[in-house]
Amino acid sequence: MTRPPTAAQRRLIDAADPVTGRLRGTPAQLAALVKRGLAFRHPRPPHDHFLTPAGHRIRAQEPTAPPDPAPALPEPGVFTARIGDAEELPQDEAVRAREVRGAWQGLLELRRMTNPDGAAGRPCAWERSHLVRAAALALEAAGHHPAGPDGDGYRVRATGQPEAVAVYGPPAALRAWADTLERAGWQAGEYTEPRTRVRYVLASPRRV
């Protein structure tokens, strides 16, 4: 890319979904980003547009003007993987299911574009730098439910280990969650915390 994006294009890039890189804009705006190699149009319906690795690099750069402060909770229309927080906003189940499918397909496309061998079955660099959200998206895309106010469901949490997350919840569901993460390209197994004796799943993105 020989010249930086225009101010309008930079605003679209900065406003892309923080998890999947999904873009929102007019057809002309999105087509211009595709032409410049900053976005791609997903081949499957609903044919959403997502940032390419070049687009992600642009967004990682310091903007020319400071952005507005990030809201404490996600804004309407912005996809966020559910990690099992009590404060996560409720949403229409059908709408949520469509958004999760689109986010997961976008993530698979990002794997194909950024993994050196183009493998979609193995986590990419973005997932290794967003472990909690990436693992939560894999679980939700497979039909598992995050914990709600009653505590039933998965809760994905960071750990002190490099490139590892812990998934807590009902012991009867741990095996299914571990299997799902394995199929999504993670290494996962069940463990017991020595002090509390709480069972959980420990998962890390597979590199090979």
Lowest mean per-residue pLDDT among 46-55, 101-110, 112-121, 180-189: 46-55
Residue 50 to residue 34: CA distance in whole angstroms:
9
pLDDT, tens digit, for every residue of 110-168? 999 989 899 999 999 999 999 999 999 999 999 999 998 776 899 999 998 889 999 99
pLDDT band at 74 (very low <50, low <70, confident <90, very high): very low
pLDDT band at 78 (very low <50, low <70, confident <90, very high): low
- What pLDDT sits at residue 75? 37
Identity (one letter) of the amino acid at 181? L
Query: Which strands sit side by side in the sheet containing 155-158, from one edge to the other?
Result: 155-158, 165-168, 199-205, 186-192
CB 111 within 8 A of CB 120: yes
Residue 134 to residue 130: CA distance in whole angstroms:
6
Return phi, psi of residue 72, to 5°.
-70, -30
pLDDT, tens digit, for every residue of 2-53? 467 888 888 888 888 877 788 988 888 888 888 888 889 887 778 889 888 8
**DSSP assigned state of 204:** E
| Higher-confidence position of 178 and 12 | 178
Tell me how far apart the 2 most distant CA atoms of the chain are, in Å: 58
Lowest mean per-residue pLDDT among 44-48, 58-62, 82-86: 58-62
Look up tokens 């799902």; give the residue. Answer: 180
CB 80 within 8 A of CB 74: yes
| Residue 65 in this model has a pLDDT that exceeds 50 | no
Beta strands in the chain (DSSP E): 22-23, 39-41, 49-51, 155-158, 165-168, 186-192, 199-205
- What pLDDT sits at residue 196? 92
- What pLDDT sits at residue 76? 37
> What are the angstrom distances between the C-alpha of 98 and each of 26, 45, 72, 140, 141?
20, 10, 24, 12, 10
